[in-house]
Structure 1
Amino acid sequence: MITKQEILEIGKFLKTHALRGELNAMLDVDIDYAEEDHPLIVEIDGIFVPFYIESIRTKGAETFLIKLKGVDNQEEAQSFVNRLIYGLRKDVEEYFGDEDLELASDFVGYELIDEEFGPIGKIEGIEDSTSNVLFIVRTLAEEEIFIPVADEFIVGIDDENKIIRTELPSGLLDINHK
C-alpha cells in the first residue's frame, strides 16, 4: 500500500477530453517524466492508487492530454476530474536528480519565525493557483495570512524542530491585514 510519505504532488486532472477516456491534466513535470512509465498516483477513497499512462501528448507548456490504461470512456474519466496527481517520491527525486528536493508542501506544519518580527504562526497549507506559490499561515492571533515562498525571504530551515526562519520585507505582514 502506498503511503502519503512515499509520494509528492505533481499535478492535477482538470477535465475530460473527447469520448475515449482522455483527461486534460496539468503536470509540474515534463513529458519525459511521464513517458518513462512512472505511475500517476491518485487518491481514491483514502487509498493512493497507481495508474499507468497508455498515451500522452502535450497540449500546452504544463498541460497534457493523458489516456490512462483501463480508463476507456468519458464516464470513467469523469471520476478523475479535479483530483490531484502524485508521483512516487523516489521517482520524482531521481528524475530531477536532487535527493534534497524540498517542495513547499513539505513545510506544512512548520512554525514561521521572522528575524525581526518574531513568531508569525504555523504553516497550514500552500496556495499554488497563482504564479507565486504562497504559504498559508495561521498567525498567533488566529488570522490566516499569505507569505510568498521565496528563497530570498528564507534564512534558515530547522527540519528537526520544524521551524522556518525568515527575513520578510518591511510591510509584507501589513499587506495581509485589512
Structure 2
Amino acid sequence: MARRWADVAELIATQGLKGRLVARPVRGLPFLLCEGLDVHFVPPTLDGPRKARVRGVQHLGAGEYAVEFDCVKNRDAAELLAGSHCLAARADLPEDFEDFMHSSADYLAGFLVVDSTLGAIGTIEDVQEMPTQDLLVVAGEAGEILIPLVDDFIVEFDDEERVLTMDLPNGLVDLDAAEDASAEDDA
C-alpha cells in the first residue's frame, strides 16, 4: 500500500508578530511548501491548529523560508507550532517527488555509518520512510540496526569516501546487545 503523506518541512521558529514561521526542508528534500498547499502539523498540539493551507512563502537564505499559514494569525499561535513538522498529501506534491525519494534512498545504500564514540557500526542497506523521520537500516557485525536519520545526529557526510559520521545518543545503539541477539538467532 502506497503512503498517502510525506514529511516535507520542519517549523523551526517564529518570525515577527503576524504569525509567520521559519521552515526548512527535511531529509535533503528541496523546499516543497508553496502557496495553496494543504498541510497537517505533527506532532499535533493541544491548543494549536492541526492543519492549515500555506498562504505565502519567502526565501530567507541558508535553506530557510518564512511561511504564512491561513489559520495562524499571530505570534502566540505560531509559537504553538514551532518544532512541528509539516505533512503534505503525496498527491499534492510535484510529480518527481517519488523519484527523488527513491533516488535518495538508493544513493545512501552502501554508505558506512560511523559513530563518533562507538566507531564503525555497519553499512546502510536501506532507508525506511517514517512519518517524522527516516530510519537507516544498517547491517554490521552486530546484525541489523535501525538508526533515525536526524540532522542533529549527523557530524559529517563524506560523499567521496561514502561515510556517514554520526554522533548518536548514548544507548541508542547497543552493539553488545545486538551481537548477543544475533548469536541467539544463529543458535
In the superposition, the TM-score normalised over structure 1's length comes to: 0.58
Preserved CA contact (<8 Å) 1:39 1:50: yes
Deviation string, structure 1 residues 38-96 (Cα, Å, up to 9, x no partner): 223212159x9432111110001420001100110000111011112222234446243
Distance 1:38 1:14 in 2: 19
Question: What does residue range 93-108 of structure 1 map to in structure 2 within 5 Å?
Answer: 94-96=95-97, 98=99, 101=102, 103=105, 104-106=127-129, 108=135
Preserved CA contact (<8 Å) 1:21 1:75: yes
| Counterpart pick for 1:141 among 151, 176, 180 | 176
Q: Residues 12 and 120 from structure 1, CA distance in 2 versus in 1: closer, same or farther, beyond 3 angstroms?
A: same
Are 1:41 and 2:76 an aligned pair?
no
Q: CA deviation at 1:11?
A: 2.0
Q: Which runs of 5+ in 1 are unaligned?
A: 144-178
Q: Residues 27 and 113 from structure 1, CA distance in 2 versus in 1: closer, same or farther, beyond 3 angstroms?
A: closer
SS of corresponding position for 2:78: helix
Distance 1:105 1:95 in 2: 19
User: Paired residue for 2:9?
Assistant: 11
User: Paired residue for 1:51?
Assistant: 52
Tell me the amino acid that sits aligned with residue 135 of structure 2: V
Q: Which runs of 5+ in 2 are unaligned?
A: 106-126, 158-163, 179-187
Of all paired residues, the percent bearing the same amino acid is 14
Preserved CA contact (<8 Å) 2:11 2:82: yes
Q: CA deviation at 1:10?
A: 1.8
Count of residue pairs the alignment pairs up: 133
User: Paired residue for 1:157?
Assistant: none
Q: Residues 39 and 95 from structure 1, CA distance in 2 versus in 1: closer, same or farther, beyond 3 angstroms?
A: farther
Preserved CA contact (<8 Å) 2:14 2:79: yes
| Counterpart pick for 1:113 among 139, 159, 171 | 139
In the superposition, the TM-score normalised over structure 2's length comes to: 0.55
Task: Please provide the CA RMSD for this pair.
Answer: 3.4
